[in-house]
Amino acid sequence: MPRQATIERETKETRIKLSLTLEGRGEHKGATGVGFLDHMLALFTRHALFDLTIEAKGDLHVDYHHTVEDVGICLGQALAQALGEKKGITRFGDASVPMDEALASVAVDLSGRPFLVCHAAFPDQKVGDYDTALTGEFLQALATHAGATLHVNVPYGDNSHHINEAIFKALALALAAAVAPRAGVKGVPSTKGSL
């Protein structure tokens, strides 16, 4: 059975429906209304080989913050729901991805303990009309609601678009490795017996 989940979230600021399949083909469908976020989610999905369908409506007349953060919340919840008890998974994953002059490294532990460490400086405040500070908000929401420890490090990079792209691609590869079944793992990969 494929591991999948559908999350619906409605607040006074956003209305989101998101479906995630971990055993996918890298297909991304739908839109958030935030073009740059859609671009990042499409490449994230492609490189993780997840399938992601999303429809989001948000108060974009205010700014993109609520939409970007709430998409992160929903993606984190879907990941946690799709993994269930996390039996047989690898649990850990890490990847480094270059994007031209930028390099991003992401390490993840699907530990059940949400924590984000993010060392990423963006030279530009905006990529188009997207506020680059929102990438940190997205990652925090994802880590919190997935119950993941997430470390993101960008040692160098001059182009804010490239830095974002390297982060999302490295995140995709790290999560794909962490959710993958690991041969020989019986039950939950923890000495505690639960994650």
Q: Specify the pLDDT at position 191.
A: 76
Q: What is d(CA 70, CA 11) in angstroms, rounded to the nearest whole number?
A: 9
In a domain, 102, yes or no: yes
Q: Which domain holds residue 71?
A: 4-179
Joined tokens for residue 18: 């998101």
In a domain, 99, yes or no: yes
Q: Specify the pLDDT at position 36.
A: 98
Q: How many domains does the chain have?
A: 1
The answer to whether 48 touches 176, Cβ cutoff 8 Å, is yes
Q: pLDDT tier at 194 (50, 70, 90 boundaries)? A: confident
How distant, in Å, are the alpha carbons of 12, 55, 137 from that of 8? 14, 10, 20
Q: Specify the pLDDT at position 185.
A: 83
In a domain, 137, yes or no: yes
DSSP labels, 32-97: -S-HHHHHHHHHHHHHHT-EEEEEEEE-TTT-SHHHHHHHHHHHHHHHHHHHTT-TTB--EEEEEE
Evaluate if residue 195 carries a pLDDT over 80.
no
User: How much is the average pLDDT of 127-137?
Assistant: 97
Q: What is d(CA 56, CA 159) in angstroms, rounded to the nearest whole number?
A: 28
In a domain, 158, yes or no: yes
In a domain, 190, yes or no: no
In a domain, 100, yes or no: yes
User: How much is the average pLDDT of 48-72?
Assistant: 97
In a domain, 185, yes or no: no
Q: Over pLDDT 90: what percentage of the chain?
A: 92
In a domain, 34, yes or no: yes
What CATH number does the domain containing 38 carry? 3.30.230.40
